[in-house]
Amino acid sequence: MGGTLSLAKYSIGVGDRFAHQAKPQLHACRMAAEHGVEVIPVWNKSNREHTIIGSTPASTRAAADEAVRTLGWSRPYHVDADHINLKTVDKFVEACDFFTIDVADLIGRPCEGAPVGALVEAHAELLGELLIPGVTHPFRIDRGFLVQVANKYLAAVQEAGRIYRRLEEKKGKGQFITEISMDETDSPQTPAELLVVLVAVADEGIPIQTIAPKFTGRFDKGVDYVGDLAKFSEEFSNDVAVIAFAVRHYGMSSNLKLSVHSGSDEFTLYGPIHRTLKKFDAGVHLKTAGTTWLEELIGLAEAGGEGLDLAKEIYAEAYVQREDLCAPYAAVINIDPARLPAPELVARWSPEQFVSALRHEPKCQAYNPNFRQLLHVGFKVAAKMGARYLHLLSVMETSIAKNVTGNLFDRHLKPLFIGE
Ligand SMILES: [Zn+2]
């Protein structure tokens, strides 16, 4: 048996809906390495994405393995079963070595047995004024708060324990990386709540290496952060301090770190996150998803001809189907239909017009976040095109690869991990 599989300090979760961009994505990680910063790639894909595309976890694994072979990447890499639960985990067991256990649905549900009382009895040390090094204000945790937080999260932690143990039985202890995600829920977790959750996770014996809380503010799909930046910065910094505290006092994995499920393009957060990581010498897992698919569209449009035609056709179809396409993502998109260009207008656009409306350059006059968000959720349209879409991805590979790599390196890896 090899040692324990351990997630590196810096890692980036990359989505690759159609499993054609693993190489240009890995290329961006190689560029970061050339800048002296190791960022480990993790290819993540959820059950929902697999279902919509009609793909399997094995195809994500195959694309990752092939990219690693082709580029001669000698550092670690992982394949993440993203947002799995007890119902969906089994089909990911073979292909994945990273599991994001999503227990958000159980937040607020009653739990089995009497663990709330047990937690409160076992952790009297949390009560009173608790000064955690690096946290801006001491936490004041009273019995009522502890009971309330335990009531809210313990059923979720118990379920995470069941999923973790299923995985441990199938894959072997230490042979996979565990993340717990609680981001897909209505209200953010405060740093004090995060502490209680971590204590409960430690008691449940789940050796998580990363945890994704829900942060304050809106993390909409494919567009920038909307919220109180100062509040986010303080919360993020306090969360990092809480994690360091939980590692020291509750025997959690020494590499435990936050996982930021970004909705993909929260550019304004990267500066504050970068500064906090430096201040605490902390790691982070940044999970992006979906924007690679938009770079495919940008690459197709930029190539002109058939590529541009197909991109326009996808938009026209997404425009017609927008209500259905948006419904599953209602909580994480914000589209003003009045600002969506009519397909007849888009049909006359040049490659530059299409690209500048879609590419995420907030300062660009022509950038249209409504257009971008609709296409973000419009991957179903391309999935339905099947071989026709995939064929053009191969034909226009050069134009697409340049955009995929540039997007990941310039807009994500550089500002977040390298700090430029
Ligand atoms: Zn998430």
| Token duo for residue 19 | 């499993």
pLDDT for 263: 66
Ligand 1 centroid, distance to 69 Cα (angstroms)? 29
- The reported pLDDT for the residue numbered 1 is 45
> pLDDT tens digit string along 243-257?
999 999 999 999 999
pLDDT exceeds 70 at position 149: yes
Across the range 34-59, mean pLDDT stands at 95
pLDDT > 90 in the chain, percent:
86
165 alpha carbon to ligand 1 midpoint, in Å?
22
Provide the sign of the torsion angle of the four alpha carbons 26, 28, 31, 36, taken in this order. negative
The protein residues having their C-beta less than 5 angstroms from ligand 1 (an ion) are: 183, 261
Q: How far is the CA of 345 from the centre of ligand 1 (A)?
A: 35
**Ligand 1: centre distance to CA 133 (Å):** 28
CA of 251 to the centre of ligand 1 (A): 25
Distance, in Å, from the CA atom of 288 to the CA atom of 46, rounded to the nearest integer, reads: 12
pLDDT category, 2, cuts 50, 70, 90? low
CA of 393 to the centre of ligand 1 (A): 27
DSSP 74-129: -S--EEEEEEE-TTTGGGGTTT-SEEEEE-GGGTT---SSSHHHHHHHHTGGGSEE
Distance CA 42, CA 26 (A): 10
Note the pTM of the prediction, 2 decimals: 0.95
CA 254 – ligand 1 centroid, Å? 23
Q: Do residues 164 and 178 touch, judged by C-beta distance below 8 A? A: yes
CA of 349 to the centre of ligand 1 (A): 34
What does the pLDDT look like over 274-297, one tens digit per residue? Answer: 999 999 999 999 998 778 999 999
What percent of the chain has pLDDT above 70?
99
Distance 261 CA to ligand 1 centre (A): 5
